Structure 1
């Protein structure tokens, strides 16, 4: 019997999926806005019907987080995302400025490659499928191996719902024979128009190195600064809410707390009152050994685990009621695991002399890891809040809200999304919470409104005005005008 290597099978499957998706998208691109919206709405309804079952599948398969919170994420990724985009024009003419005589036309990019993480597997498939089809595209997914079954099942449900509403079969597809070679083929294939990458740093870098356009997100490492004017009990409550929601697997969740020395004791007292456990130095060292692997990357064993499981893993004893573990730290480095992204209920705790020093510490944490992503500030001092907004190297500054839920647009009015751009500083092509607009090309049609003579007259007038206001010599101005005119006449 002939045996075909798995990597070759995987590559062939990817090529078949892309060919099917391309054919489906070419047909789908001719749908009216009404027909597209009907398809997307049916996908949302199917996602809601299966939200509980898929959440349980994801939890059972990955061991991350809490299935109850994954239900909330599934409904957020479907219904909340849909409610934000349902009235958005994404087909045909989307804007017609009669005064400026510029018309904008939405054009789907084509077939999208979707890379899915194990931390938020089913919800990310729902979200990416909905925004991709809302923009008139097809999408083919590469599942994370640790969440393969729940991702493939989610894709099956969504594709069936889309087809039921009139979309061509294959508009949503997924690899089932997984290999790095297959995923590379997906990212590099000539018929892939855009890669939508959510996952580990290495995978996102691979997407940007593929030769195809990509929208990727880097790691989060959001510090939460509690400024002295903050409502301390409420600030702590929000941080605990964020850390315990699905056991902290959302990348916008807080990874450290930074406080001013004048309120240190009050914050520590409140953290303890709200069932946050301060590790001793010995306990911190034991747990720290499990946070990072030998290669310096996050240990998947800790991701999305409860405080009790983390304590058992490290062989330390903590109270049964503990919700979050916290370690007092004074340094920031790649080798200090507490100053890195952890995606589990573990926080670092830093105390600084004043808000300026706290500001510097937050920047240091972000530049260590997570630059371009998210920062959280709890304060009632608008002046300090504004100064933070002006100086921090992040795309999202969240004020008086839980980081995880605020970053994705659940507790804030940011665009509801599970792909959070990190901007150029974070190595991303966008700083947006990614939505359908990011998955469209905009074709602009512009009518002529000026003739060459008008342009020359305008340039001449502007140059003369500039000269008069600057008291430049007449000869100098004439030379400028002559140079401009020569360029226009060539």
Structure 2
């Protein structure tokens, strides 16, 4: 039998699965030691310096000092987030719901990482993966492959030191190719992809569950209430950090016209320089080709380098960041797009609503789902952005590139991968964190039954649209309580006005009469009356008390009337004097007792107490009608 040889990538994945099977049995203490070991090995000063220098040298992106700061800050922040977090065994037990949650690893994770952050991003993913007892294989970009390999080499030294299987963390072997990354994507249990949209789309097409991120193109609004000194300094700090390698750095600012000139002055004081129209055209010609594709030679370079490359002179050669004024948005106006460089586009807004519309247009063109920032003291304006912009994060009065990925002074998880929700074609709108590297098994036990009635669920809806399945009892009581003096019935001929309060009182007295005459719920009571309040009261009052009312059709003829009385088994028949005389023979031959009735005042009571026989239910019988066909 021929045994098929594994490909190189298949062997890497197989090694990862073997290592994961060992770590799968680690305790929480062992897991927590794992992440401390790999984190310290990378960010300890000597190694951090080496890696940062290597990253800039190999990729040509960013600067060493900012990378060192980023690597340390992002890692310390992530370890703070993960401290004391349970990811082994029972992680939650809820007695009320009867649900016990058990943490389970995903398995082997493939992590696609960008050249813009070849240290901080893979380390963040490795720590999250190991915290949840997964194996992880890094798939770097070709430009970042050497530094990523060195990161893994250092991590494996730490793993061996603490007795953990080193293949729990691996990197694709160099040289990196799309084919190898695609093969890896097909073999792992989960892909966590950060970087270009091309890489993310290929990962999504693999069929393997994929956590991707959206495109950045952050707009920042400065309204008339903003602290301009604070805003300008934070924008400068964010825009220039690591030469704007972060997808979270501001790409455009939208300034209220009332503070526009002052804000530009503050930005100039912070080291920015503003280009004129001719200089803007020169810069555009350098940064993009005729097809709108950005020149890789300007990505994550210093502003002075970009200025020199563009043939700019004077103040621009000493600038920390370049500013261009823009009015339009779209692919024909590339300054409205993501730039990944210390170049800032400036829009002027006539009012706040105009600023919001500009931000919407920018995001709808590119960057939906990612984030927007605002510098403002106006809570209404801040809330308006949260209500209207298609973004998952509104960053308030902060340096955007530090805040979006989590900071020590905000509550977002430390991350270098920003989910952009369905706006950005992502399955999550969160900063990717350890929860996304974890499966959870739920043990579900029975609890006390908690099944609501239809009324519990729908009562407010029924009431709002008059759809309530109310009984006549509930309706009479409701109107008597809410509108006691409102007229229920008006008899113009008799100048009679009956309020809901009076109706309720008369119905209660009728209940007393029923009780004294041994009439109970579901008993039948007939009547032979002309139209008027007396017949209305009897009709409504009987149903109110759960008594079945039987109208006797005085026009139907003696034979039908007698049949109706006998068949219905009426216990009482309320009748006017006229009909008692007219149908005397029929009434005297029946088993029902005949009551002369012309209104509630015509009835006699042994006691004057209100009675409610039995609460009427929606399915209680109300009226028994005999037709001529019967």
TM over 0.5: yes
Give the alignment's TM-score, normalised by structure 2.
0.71
Alignment gaps of 5+ in structure 1: 1-8, 480-490
Tell whether 2:288 aligns with 1:292.
yes
Determine helix, strand or coil for the equivalent of 1:55. helix
Inter-partner Cα distance in structure 1 for 2:160 and 2:55: 24
Alignment match, 2:272: 276
Change (3 A) 1:135 1:290: farther
Determine helix, strand or coil for the equivalent of 1:395. coil
Tell me the alpha carbon deviations over residues 409-440 of structure 1, each in whole angstroms, 9 at most, x when there is no partner.
Answer: 13533111111111111111111111111111
Change (3 A) 1:468 1:59: closer
The alpha carbon displacement at 1:312 in A equals: 1.4
Alignment match, 2:207: 211
Alignment match, 1:235: 231
User: Which segment drifts farther, 96-105 or 238-247?
Assistant: 96-105
Determine helix, strand or coil for the equivalent of 2:267. helix
| Equivalences, count | 463
Question: After TM superposition, which residue ranges in structure 1, 4 or more long, deviate above 6 angstroms?
Answer: none
Inter-partner Cα distance in structure 1 for 2:427 and 2:153: 30
Where do 1:297-336 residues align within 5 Å?
Answer: 297-319=293-315, 320-336=317-333
The alpha carbon displacement at 1:281 in A equals: 1.0
Determine helix, strand or coil for the equivalent of 2:370. strand
Determine helix, strand or coil for the equivalent of 1:22. helix
Task: From 117, 120, 145, give the equivalent of 2:142.
Answer: 145
Inter-partner Cα distance in structure 1 for 2:111 and 2:410: 26
Task: From 50, 56, 59, give the equivalent of 1:53.
Answer: 50
Where do 1:15-34 residues align within 5 Å?
Answer: 15-34=10-29
Alignment match, 2:251: 255
Q: Is the 8 A contact 2:96 2:447 kept in 1?
A: no
Inter-partner Cα distance in structure 2 for 1:468 and 1:258: 47
The alpha carbon displacement at 1:228 in A equals: 0.6
Inter-partner Cα distance in structure 1 for 2:17 and 2:399: 40
The alpha carbon displacement at 1:446 in A equals: 1.3
| Larger RCO (alpha carbons 8 Å, 6+ apart) | 1
Tell whether 2:336 aligns with 1:350.
no
Inter-partner Cα distance in structure 1 for 2:229 and 2:444: 55
Change (3 A) 1:468 1:269: closer
Alignment match, 1:436: 434
The alpha carbon displacement at 1:313 in A equals: 1.2
Inter-partner Cα distance in structure 1 for 2:321 and 2:459: 65
Determine helix, strand or coil for the equivalent of 1:121. coil
Alignment match, 1:108: 105
Determine helix, strand or coil for the equivalent of 2:92. strand
Alignment match, 2:8: 13
Determine helix, strand or coil for the equivalent of 1:372. coil
Q: Is the 8 A contact 2:271 2:321 kept in 1?
A: yes
User: Which segment drifts farther, 76-85 or 19-28?
Assistant: 76-85
The alpha carbon displacement at 1:218 in A equals: 1.8
Change (3 A) 1:460 1:275: closer
Task: From 79, 93, 97, give the equivalent of 2:94.
Answer: 97
Where do 1:357-372 residues align within 5 Å?
Answer: 357-372=354-369
Determine helix, strand or coil for the equivalent of 1:394. coil
Where do 1:371-382 residues align within 5 Å?
Answer: 371-382=368-379
Change (3 A) 1:84 1:471: closer
The alpha carbon displacement at 1:466 in A equals: 7.0
Task: From 445, 448, 460, give the equivalent of 2:446.
Answer: 448
Determine helix, strand or coil for the equivalent of 2:318. coil
Determine helix, strand or coil for the equivalent of 2:371. strand
Inter-partner Cα distance in structure 2 for 1:119 and 1:304: 8
Inter-partner Cα distance in structure 2 for 1:97 and 1:318: 67
RMSD, aligned CA: 2.1
Q: Is the 8 A contact 1:77 1:126 kept in 2?
A: no
Inter-partner Cα distance in structure 2 for 1:471 and 1:422: 41
Q: Is the 8 A contact 1:40 1:162 kept in 2?
A: no
Inter-partner Cα distance in structure 1 for 2:86 and 2:38: 18
Alignment gaps of 5+ in structure 2: 472-616, 620-630
Q: Is the 8 A contact 2:392 2:421 kept in 1?
A: yes
Alignment match, 1:85: 82
Inter-partner Cα distance in structure 1 for 2:292 and 2:16: 38
Larger Rg: 2
Change (3 A) 1:269 1:31: same
Change (3 A) 1:270 1:467: closer
Q: Is the 8 A contact 2:459 2:468 kept in 1?
A: no
Inter-partner Cα distance in structure 2 for 1:117 and 1:278: 31
The alpha carbon displacement at 1:373 in A equals: 0.4
User: Which segment drifts farther, 291-300 or 59-68?
Assistant: 291-300
The alpha carbon displacement at 1:267 in A equals: 1.1
User: Which segment drifts farther, 442-451 or 464-473?
Assistant: 464-473
